[in-house]
Chain A
Amino acid sequence: QVHLVESGGGVVQPGRSLRLSCAASQFTFSDYIMYWVRQSPGKGLEWVSFISTDGTNKYYTDSVEGRFTASRDNSRNTLYLHMDNLRPEDTATYYCMTVLSLDSGNSPIWGLGTLVTVSS
């Protein structure tokens, strides 16, 4: 069964850094674009970053541009999100996700998320 498992969340002070990881299994990780999506408490879902299959192309939502960096290690089937200069408004559950090509069609798959709390 396809799995995405996030880790690395926690409580961090404003201005500090944190690195999230997402371990992928049971699919060919290197073939797929990967995303980070977040959800602030009581709010909706927000796309945060995109990284191409080989890691050379990356895009970010405006509010994290210049502070967050996505990367991937295809040899370890792992996606990362390095978050610098964290702000209280970055408090959210962070999910990694991708869109798999199945016989039946293209299906999103998600991890269960990791909670990041930015607070002094």
Chain B
Amino acid sequence: ETVMTQSPATLSVSPGETATLSCRASQSVGNNLAWYQQKPGQAPRLLIYGASIRATGIPARFSGSGSGTDFTLTISSLQSEDFAVYYCHQYGNWLMTFGQGTRLDIK
């Protein structure tokens, strides 16, 4: 099983600033990595797939990078609606796995 480790667990950032979230895989997943945003009571919202491709309708302030084992989600010019929990998800093999989440809080 590929273990996905997200850091930090909680990140406090002020509106207008940039947040950088990390996700590390215990073995290579190529570029088969997605990022989701989740708010209370809602389903996960796909932000990024293929490690760096923005999903339909996702603002340009969300960007993903990385390949293999190390991945980053960058959210620039944070808006109030961006404060949520973010998950990474590897689907490089049939036994897909998820990170434990990073909570992005308003500072």
Pairwise interchain contact B50-A110, C-beta atoms closer than 8 A: no
Shortest distance between the CB of A34 and any CB in chain B (Å): 11
B contact patch SS: loop
Considering only CB atoms, which chain B residue lies closest to A1 in the complex?
Answer: B56
> Which of A8-16, A17-25, A77-85, A100-108 lies on the face that meets chain B?
A100-108
Pairwise interchain contact A46-B98, C-beta atoms closer than 8 A: yes
Decide if A111 is an interface residue (CB 8 Å cutoff).
yes
Chain B stretch 56-88: residues in CB contact (< 8 A) with chain A: 87
Chain A stretch 24-39: residues in CB contact (< 8 A) with chain B: 33, 35
One of A95, A106, A107, A113 near B55 (C-beta < 8 A): A107
Pairwise interchain contact A113-B43, C-beta atoms closer than 8 A: yes
Chain B stretch 22-52: residues in CB contact (< 8 A) with chain A: 31-32, 34, 43-44, 46, 49-50
Chain B residues within 8 Å of A, Cβ to Cβ:
31-32, 34, 43-44, 46, 49-50, 53, 55, 87, 89, 91, 94-101
